[in-house]
Chain A
Amino acid sequence: MTNPTPAYVEGATVLLQERLTDDVYRLTVAATTGGGPGQFYMVHAWDREPLLARPISIHSVDEDTVSFLYQVRGRGTELLARLDEGGEVTLTGPLGHGFYTEELHGRVAIVTGGIGIAPVFCLASTLPPGDVTVIAGFKSTPYAVAELLTLGVDVQVATEDGCEGTRGFCTAIFDPTAFDTVVTCGPIPMMARVAQLCAEAVVPCQASLEAHMACGVGACLGCSFPTVSGNKRVCADGPVFDAAEVIWHA
């Protein structure tokens, strides 16, 4: 899959702002810039403060729209959540190297934690449905699951408070030996655990990393993550990496 050239788009119109849970929203904007699963946009929806744009993954995408699934964590995402339909956002993207879908064969597991589920809809849409199992962990009430079921993929849920699915971490209900390839996206400790399980089971695993970003395009070296072949830029060399290459506990 070739990555489309990124563009800088000012004033993309907000088409839809949906509140899915207490702090999780889905924002759909009019944009023809496209992108593939695992790629992201730098999103700016404020005037001057905060200063920097925020990296948000592509949740779903078509010719005319891009949508984002995001969790309010701080100032930037809080301002995103204040946007109404008709509001405007500034986007740079699509950016980064997404999932290596050509390497996802056989039985595919997608193991996510929390808002790490954001890029999964886009990814699952490109895979043959019968072979995909999403193992999704949440603190409490799950979100963005129903739409995955519409794709015909199998979804297994774990919640820390046990309010739905299995109580506990998603890594507890993930057995790598049942799969041919694995994808993971979520908090670093969780992905580290998935990577370890996959390494032990000798199953290839792709992980979508997170890092604080400034430029988002590969120019500032602000988002580096250590790998066996040196520091890599999460934004430009990733965000998706071969989990076996990542040095998880640097």
Chain B
Amino acid sequence: MIRVQTEDFSLQKEYDRLRQLSSVGAVVTFTGLVRDINQGEQVSSLTLEHYPGMTEKALSEIVSQARQRWDIQQCTLIHRVGELKLSDQIVFVGIACMHRQEAFAACEFIMDYLKTQAPFWKKESNSQGESYWVDARESDTTALDKWSGK
């Protein structure tokens, strides 16, 4: 299941859905939160812009690539857009598999590709009330290298 939404989400609710099948032995979740300091700035809030239509398409493509690589029993991907405050939840990836290695790999794969392929942009505001677009991190691009071998 893939959702792009302004509303917050409940980790427990998503987890309960992921673990339903009795074949599930491992659930890995990733949650991304608005951090207080980013690229040296004191962050007080965040606006997430996206490209409606392409966002959903890009996320579906990433999830289907993960499903081709690993035996995934259940997968949930949620990304919020709009205004977010410090410590708010931004993104959720939940993977349920028979074995842990697959669940870890699929969850990290989806985050790595989302970071570089899904059309979201963050605009942060700092404690002085200044707003600025966040720069893409080189380390997010190099993170993809680990998936090109398999």
A and B part of one assembly: no
